[in-house]
A and B are shown apart, each in its own frame.
Chain A
């Protein structure tokens, strides 16, 4: 094999989560009562438009979670693999990750950001801005050609975007036409005037914005460092793309930790009441009373001591980063389950007095079956809403924690570490603003789409909200 797959813990868990989400979708597909809120969600233009963006982040994150080590030499049993673990995303973006300059350079620049002493061919030394090794290296005279070349490339990028979007629109229209057995033009008319059940127009518009943003960036990044380079000369666009996985993992894996705890304990407390309730309430009041950041800080400090004294456990930097990330998710999950647990306890207290639960109990149905058949399905919407609502908060929390110094490993690319580094860059004269700006834009896109999607999910699943999205009196 030309490569050897590497499965990090977080990768495995992320794909496990994805598989269970797909399994749940498959399960709900055939059941009308489970499908109804999803159909409603699919009809929300705000929800679907934000889902397009979430989809982009998800795809980038998943691609970045398929890790492998390339073969550098040997055949058969004597194969040798590169020490560096790469991901599918690295392979797709190609040289973007490896084209490192010496230090800072501005977006689209052809020269370094700082002056250096350069030795000329005739031996004389001058202080000047040296040319970049990769950014705009194809230009022979940057001063005269640069502007035209950037414009040409950007227009090419816009052209690519236009082609991509048209292909997408055609595909969607063809799909709608096939499904509704109408002609192509009439389907397009229906899509464009919002007559379809699924808000295709909103989806196409949002996809258009995304493509319009990404295609020029992608095309320009083949010739330039489109968002500049950071202190050690790494491409900021590449770092931003790599940060997406970290944010995504923090948000999803913490949920994976939090969900079983909150669900099991919350339902048990509400269903059994008595001493079980007392103990569970005691546990969550105690955990809740410790300030979250401090508990995380204390736990991460202890992890650092462990890592400092047991360096032999971690073979590669990736493994160390990975375990620290996993531990951070674990501790974030442990500190954040209490809210959902309390909600579920309250709802279960109400549900257990319902007639159908009483009847089931009278028939001698076991506690386990009552909980799994009658209680759990009826609190599902609370769980789902809580999960999507927490998502954006966890992405934001990663940045703050990394700033405080108790977040992900300092060597890992993440939005928090990018912002952290940017603090020193902002104090430079002239200012290095591009890493901060890129982190800002991509993080805002990620969190905003998550927030909008969470709102749509709440509207679709909350039984208190009726058909037109307004709350009941």
Chain B
């Protein structure tokens, strides 16, 4: 197991390097720093001097990969790639356009993101699985058929409508929760209720239907017939046997997203003005702050890969047939 994990972590390095190169190419080759400077400074009548100054301030005035002018190892380290991209491996994300340290900002902003994402994830998962189990229990009856129809209709509605509709109904019409914002400590609870509820409802259709498919597939297997033949009640079969064995396909889809919960949800946070990482990213996109976007891309990839490794570990926990070595 330890040896396996070690190998997996070694395998992560080329992938992160690839991500790093892709983002680097996207941000520095598609458009030269000169182009970015011209756009950032605005207009066409920008002097060469101001462009040079902008590039020097940002540290973009160096060569891409190889610095002829420098000596020794500086030939590789005194380049845009090393100072801007490779430094991200050390979680040094540099400074945003407004002068704040990106890493520090991420550390403070990840808590509001987690405050929304974790309850949405946990309560949502419990809700979807319960709903799907109910549908599987009533399979091939009108309950099941109408449940599936509701799911398909629900997943055909854009998440934006759920948010706009929820804000209008619950906050504006019924005054049950504040329309947006965020507070400290216990006062945060009343701000969290609505985004969490909407987050759960907006992806209920697709998730419940997916879990139902997994359960139905599992229900048709031989061991379930054996369990029924032994005279076990349908409920016991569902919860003890089916749910247990369905954990394997469920885990595949679920564990991988757990680390990414840190990043929060882009639209949710911007609609409810929650000062998390999602809204941070949106602001960065709107302000064209490339440093932040690059940092978030890199962070997102790390979290995704951590998720992949966690998935493998989780398999060994629920499925004794799986051994990692």
B47 contacts the other chain (CB 8 A): no
Using an 8 Å CB-CB cutoff, how does the interface string of A104-134 with B read, 1 for contact, 0 for none?
0000000000000000000000000000000
- Known A285-B15, A286-B22, A305-B36; contact A291-B263, beta-carbon cutoff 8 A: yes
- Known A289-B304, A405-B285; contact A399-B290, beta-carbon cutoff 8 A: no
Contacts of A6 in B (CB 8 A): none
Q: Chain B residue with minimal CB distance to A423?
A: B164
Q: Chain A residue with minimal CB distance to B152?
A: A451
- Known A290-B301, A302-B26, A304-B288; contact A473-B220, beta-carbon cutoff 8 A: yes
Within 8 A of B (CB), among A284-306: 285-291, 293-295, 297-299, 301-302, 304-306
Interface residue stretch chosen among A135-143, A163-171, A367-375, A440-448: A440-448
Q: Chain B residue with minimal CB distance to A305?
A: B31
- Known A282-B14, A298-B26, A400-B159; contact A306-B288, beta-carbon cutoff 8 A: no
Q: B220 contacts which of A301, A305, A436, A471 (Cβ < 8 Å)? A: A471
A106 to B210, CA, bound (A): 41
B286 contacts the other chain (CB 8 A): yes
Contacts of B30 in A (CB 8 A): 302, 305-306
B234 contacts the other chain (CB 8 A): no
A403 contacts the other chain (CB 8 A): yes
Q: B160 contacts which of A283, A290, A400 (Cβ < 8 Å)? A: A400
- Known A291-B260, A301-B290, A419-B160; contact A404-B36, beta-carbon cutoff 8 A: no
Using an 8 Å CB-CB cutoff, how does the interface string of B286-308 with A read, 1 for contact, 0 for none?
10101001101100110011001
Within 8 A of B (CB), among A410-424: 415, 419, 422-423
A148 to B253, CA, bound (A): 57
Q: A309 contacts which of B14, B39, B267, B286 (Cβ < 8 Å)? A: B39
Contacts of A455 in B (CB 8 A): 152
- Known A293-B266, A297-B285; contact A452-B152, beta-carbon cutoff 8 A: yes
A426 contacts the other chain (CB 8 A): yes
The smallest C-beta distance from A434 to any residue of chain B, in angstroms, reads: 14
Interface size for A (C-beta < 8 A) is 49
Q: A404 contacts which of B14, B221, B285, B288 (Cβ < 8 Å)? A: B285
Q: B263 near A282 (CB under 8 angstroms)?
A: no
Within 8 A of B (CB), among A372-418: 392, 396, 399-400, 403-406, 415
Most central of B158, B161, B168 by chain A CB within 10 Å? B158
Q: B158 near A294 (CB under 8 angstroms)?
A: no
- Known A301-B288, A405-B285, A471-B216; contact A444-B156, beta-carbon cutoff 8 A: yes
Q: B19 contacts which of A289, A403, A423 (Cβ < 8 Å)? A: A289
Contacts of B15 in A (CB 8 A): 282, 285-286, 289
Q: B293 contacts which of A285, A298, A309, A450 (Cβ < 8 Å)? A: A298
The smallest C-beta distance from B310 to any residue of chain A, in angstroms, reads: 14
Contacts of B221 in A (CB 8 A): 473
Q: A294 near B152 (CB under 8 angstroms)?
A: no
Contacts of B296 in A (CB 8 A): 291, 294
Q: A400 near B286 (CB under 8 angstroms)?
A: no
Most central of B18, B156, B305 by chain A CB within 10 Å? B156
Contacts of A472 in B (CB 8 A): 220
A302 to B286, CA, bound (A): 13
A220 to B157, CA, bound (A): 27
Using an 8 Å CB-CB cutoff, how does the interface string of B20-43 with A read, 1 for contact, 0 for none?
001100110011000110110000
Q: A448 near B153 (CB under 8 angstroms)?
A: yes
Q: A291 near B39 (CB under 8 angstroms)?
A: no
B282 contacts the other chain (CB 8 A): yes
Q: A471 near B217 (CB under 8 angstroms)?
A: yes
B243 contacts the other chain (CB 8 A): no
- Known A290-B22, A448-B152; contact A298-B27, beta-carbon cutoff 8 A: yes
Q: A289 near B39 (CB under 8 angstroms)?
A: no
A149 to B161, CA, bound (A): 33
Q: A290 contacts which of B39, B168, B300 (Cβ < 8 Å)? A: B300
A430 contacts the other chain (CB 8 A): no
A444 to B18, CA, bound (A): 39
Contacts of B153 in A (CB 8 A): 444, 448
10 A-B residue contacts at CB 8 Å?
A282-B14, A288-B304, A290-B22, A294-B300, A297-B285, A308-B39, A400-B158, A404-B282, A419-B158, A451-B156
Which 7 A-B residue pairs are closest in the complex by CB-CB distance?
Answer: A286-B18, A291-B300, A448-B156, A473-B220, A447-B156, A289-B301, A289-B304
Which A residues fall within an 8 A CB radius of B? 282-283, 285-291, 293-295, 297-299, 301-302, 304-306, 308-309, 392, 396, 399-400, 403-406, 415, 419, 422-423, 426, 436, 440, 443-444, 447-448, 450-452, 455, 470-473
Using A419-B161, A451-B152 as known contacts, list a sample of 9 further A-B pairs with CB atoms less than 8 Å apart, ordered by residue number in A: A290-B301, A291-B260, A291-B263, A301-B293, A436-B164, A448-B156, A451-B156, A470-B140, A471-B220
